[in-house]
Amino acid sequence: MLAEKYFPQGSGRYGRLATIVEKMDGFASLKPERWFGIWAMVLAGANVSAHVEDRWLYWDWSSLSYVLLVIFAFAAYWDKRFPVFSQKIDSVKSGLWMFLMGFILFLLGTIQKGFNVDVLVFGLPYFIFFLIGHMTYSIPIQVKDDGENHSPTKGEMAPMLAIIILLTSLSVVAGVIHDDPMISTIAAVYSPFPIVALIFPAAVRHLQRCRYYVVFIPVMFLSVRFPWFLIPVLSLFWVLRHYNYFRHGDVKPSSKVDLPTGHSD
């Protein structure tokens, strides 16, 4: 990030901007880093509605509407009151909670074009992928006494990763059956990440990639149909990276992972 080069930590320039950025703590308390996933869930509903109407719809700037923008704002407010990602997948109850929240956000996205039974049928693989994302984040990345990030043992991760791989495969198959290139491609492109985490020796970098790409991939593919979505996504990404750098000294969100000692990225 250019800010690291021109505003290095410890410099007077960094300190002056850090004082200004501190005023954004109220905004940060809203946990805006969660909005990427929440917005993707809403837009998944709009995407399915559009797909049912016109399977060949791509890069449509006219899909931007005040209705969707208002729904985005409402969804962010909803998450503040009833956190979508607050519970771990450690029981059937918590899994159903996540499924329900994803379903509600998905339905909000269908408001603009209207709801019908086909939307529910075509939406099933998207609901499954919402659950995949939440299950991925439920695998904890532990911070040990040495301050380094560590992954759970292979035995602790394997059952959850196996379920994630199975559900990802189901999303691919369901997408193909529905002739939906969006969800089938999203799930297919994501599938190597949990497979690597399961097959290769346990390493925190594999989990970090799983977490990052389970959000990044659907956001980017949804932008193929809704190109205007890149504007709020990239804007929020830029703001969060600079806020975290000047406030906490960390550049995140980021695709950077913890590599083994002796390696560089």
Q: What values do phi and psi take at 260, rounded to 5?
A: -60, 155
pLDDT in tens, 249-264: 888 888 888 766 545 4
Is the confidence at residue 21, as pLDDT, over 60? yes
Q: Which residues contact 162 (CB under 8 A, 6 or more apart)?
A: 198
Alpha-carbon distances, residue 152 vs 143, 155, 198 (angstroms): 11, 8, 12
Residue 2 pLDDT class (50, 70, 90 cuts): confident
Average pLDDT value over all residues in the chain: 88
Is the confidence at residue 220, as pLDDT, over 70? yes
Cis omega (within 30 of 0) on the bond before 8? no
Tokens of 222: 């949804």
Asked if residue 59 lies in contact with residue 130, where contact means CB atoms within 8 angstroms, the answer is: no
List the one residue out of 236, 122, 254 whose CA is nearest residue 182: 122
Mean pLDDT for the stretch of residues 105-129: 90
- Tell me what pLDDT residue 212 has: 93
- Tell me what pLDDT residue 91 has: 65
Mean pLDDT for the stretch of residues 119-129: 93
Write the single-letter amino acid at 235: S
Asked if residue 165 lies in contact with residue 198, where contact means CB atoms within 8 angstroms, the answer is: yes
- Tell me what pLDDT residue 116 has: 82
Q: Where are the domains of the chain?
A: 7-248
- Tell me what pLDDT residue 163 has: 94
Asked if residue 141 lies in contact with residue 207, where contact means CB atoms within 8 angstroms, the answer is: yes
Is the confidence at residue 151, as pLDDT, over 60? yes
Length of the chain: 265
| Cα end-to-end span (Å), the chain | 14
Give kind and range of the element (H or E) at residue 143.
strand 142-143
Question: What is the C-alpha to C-alpha distance for residues 223 and 233, in angstroms, rounded to an integer?
Answer: 10
Q: Which residues contact 72 (CB under 8 A, 6 or more apart)?
A: 35, 39, 42, 232
- Tell me what pLDDT residue 238 has: 94
Is the confidence at residue 146, as pLDDT, over 70? no
pLDDT in tens, 165-196: 999 999 999 999 999 999 999 999 999 999 99
Is the confidence at residue 113, as pLDDT, over 90? no
Asked if residue 131 lies in contact with residue 66, where contact means CB atoms within 8 angstroms, the answer is: no
